[in-house]
Structure 1
Amino acid sequence: MKTSKYKRIVLKLSGEALAGGEGFGIKPDIIKNVAKEISEARDLGVEIAVIVGGGNIWRGKTGSDLGMERGTADYIGMLATVMNSLALQDSLEQLGLDTRVLTSIEMKQIAEPYIRRRAIRHLEKGRVVIFAAGIGNPYFSTDTTAALRAAEIGADVILMGKNNVDGVYSADPKLDSNAKKFDTLSYIEVLQKNLQVMDATATSFCMDNSIPLVVFSISEDGNIKRAVTGENIGTTITK
């Protein structure tokens, strides 16, 4: 029987991963499948914290096109991540998992406020913790949230599930047939090559705090469990 390579992980999912090929909204069969895969990974004994983006509901470009002030647009994006987090929580609880949503923006009626020690305690009790609303401040992405929360809770790794891409490439493989896939990279290479795996703030933070990152495809069934067991899928980025 396979066992987890890690004791505690942060699973970073793009909002688009919940929308499937449609790119917008939450597709029920997709989110149920993601929940099932998280449940299978949790059965290995690993402590799981999840961060979901909001791009399937709101994108910064939409606000830009409307002439919206950046801070306001970012707060709308944070609320989109809360919607995704609550939907994922419900799907996980339908499978019998104990979960908690912790938000960086206080909304007591629907979720707990983010407190680092409380989050760690939930994880120690075997609950799946979902971090919502980014870090609570505009101008910071959910990538940065993943890096910051991973450091705060002492996660062993960030597993980044991408939609329809199975790792990090030298160029967009959909546009360039000569694009090369990397099996391993250092964070400094990611920055120097401008590979845009994460935004530069998140990349630098992971590098400075020696947090490994595994980038893999969320579209292939079983990949979350494979990533948790340490199978060689996707691209591994280390300091």
Structure 2
Amino acid sequence: MYKRVLLKLSGEFLAGAQGFGIVPEATDQLARDLVSALDGTGVELCIVIGGGNFWRGARNGQGMDPATADYIGMLGTVMNAMALQDAMERAGQPTRVMSAIQMAAVAEPYIRRRAMRHMEKGRVVIFGGGNGAPFFTTDTTATLRALEVGAEVVLYAKNKVDGVYDSDPQKNPDAKRYDQLTHMDVIEQRLAVMDATAITLCMDKGLPLVVFDIFQEGNLRRLFAGERVGTLITA
């Protein structure tokens, strides 16, 4: 069983079928699923959530200064973190939002040791604001925060994709799913798992990843218990 894990969530999970913004029903259901999976396991959980349901710098920021476009995306992740916090606390799970961008009225500043202390006390820590710098994705932020707080694994949540495939399973019915890969396999085969900076950092530090379908019932709780689900990526 894992002691401390980082869960990487997509901002689109909060948007439901609408695909944009925050849909309360979808957010509440996700929060209930997270709290239920965590209940009684003793796992210390932290979360990095994206902001793609509001803003993607490369797509939405065409014509803008790239750094400005990325900062807008970081603000989107804070909005998602606050919405998820609200839903999880209504489901009975104490949480803290920590932001790499200073906004003391709505989130604590990210301080590594404070984040670790919150988790030791049973609080789920949700990291918003990316890593505070432009040109880095939330994939990289997830890897960075996992290493900083001593998480044993990054659980990379997907929707309707139960692991890593050699091609897009939604387009190719003959796509092959991998049970296990190395970080170098992902890089050499250019598998669409996460961005190159993030996977390279995982490889350099020996941080394992698990790519799995979070909406398949029981998957997250099985992972918290140390069972094999989805695709494991290790050194």
Q: Do the structures match in fold with TM over 0.5? A: yes
- Residue matched to 2:127: 131
**1:58 alignment counterpart:** 55
Cα distance in 2 between the residues matched to 1:52 and 1:23: 15
Please give the alpha-carbon distance, in whole angstroms, between the structure 2 residues aligned to 1:144 and 1:134: 9
Counterpart pick for 1:38 among 17, 26, 34:
34
* Secondary structure of residue in 2 paired with 1:82: helix
Q: Summarize the Cα distance change of 1:225–1:136 in structure 2 as closer, same or farther, 3 Å threshold.
A: same
In structure 2, do the counterparts of structure 1 residues 227 and 237 end up closer, same or farther at CA, with 3 Å as the change threshold? Answer: same
Deviations 1:141-164 (A, max 9, x none): 000000000000000111111122
Is the 1:52–1:81 contact (alpha carbons within 8 Å) kept by the matching residues of 2?
yes
Match of 1:99 in 2: 95
Contact 1:185-1:236 at 8 Å conserved across structures = yes
**Which residue does 2:111 correspond to in 1?**
115
- Structure 2 residue 8 is the aligned partner of structure 1 residue 15: no
Structure 2: tracts of 5 or more residues without a match: none
1:192 to 2:188 alignment: yes
| One-letter amino acid of the counterpart of residue 45, structure 1 | G
Among all aligned residue pairs of Structure 1 and Structure 2, give the percentage whose two residues are the same amino acid: 56
Aligned partners of 1:17 and 1:218 also within 8 Å: no
Partner SS, residue 160 of structure 1:
strand
Q: Distance in 2 between matches of 1:113 and 1:70?
A: 24
Find the counterpart in structure 2 of residue 71 from structure 1: 67
Q: Which string of whole-angstrom CA distances, capped at 9 and with x for unpartnered residues, describes residues 68-107 of structure 1?
A: 1110110011000000000000001101211100000000
The secondary structure found in structure 2 opposite 1:188 is helix
Contact 2:38 2:224 in 1 (8 A): no
2: distance between equivalents of 1:61 and 1:102?
A: 25
* 1:168, distance to aligned residue in structure 2 (A): 0.6
The residue that corresponds to 1:214 in the other structure is 210
Taking the aligned partners of 2:152 and 2:70, their CA distance within structure 1 comes to 29
Aligned equivalents of 2:25, 2:184: Cα separation in 1: 38
The number of residues matched between the two structures is 234
Q: TM-score, normalised by structure 2?
A: 0.96
CA distance in 2, matches of 1:160, 1:181: 16
Partner of 1:232: 228
| Deviates most, 149-158 or 21-30 | 21-30
Instruction: Report the counterpart of residue 23 of structure 2 in structure 1.
Output: 27
Deviation string, structure 1 residues 166-185 (Cα, Å, up to 9, x no partner)? 11110111111221111110
Give the Cα separation in 1 of the matches to 2:129 and 2:219. Answer: 26
TM-score (norm. length: structure 1): 0.94
**Match of 1:49, SS?**
strand
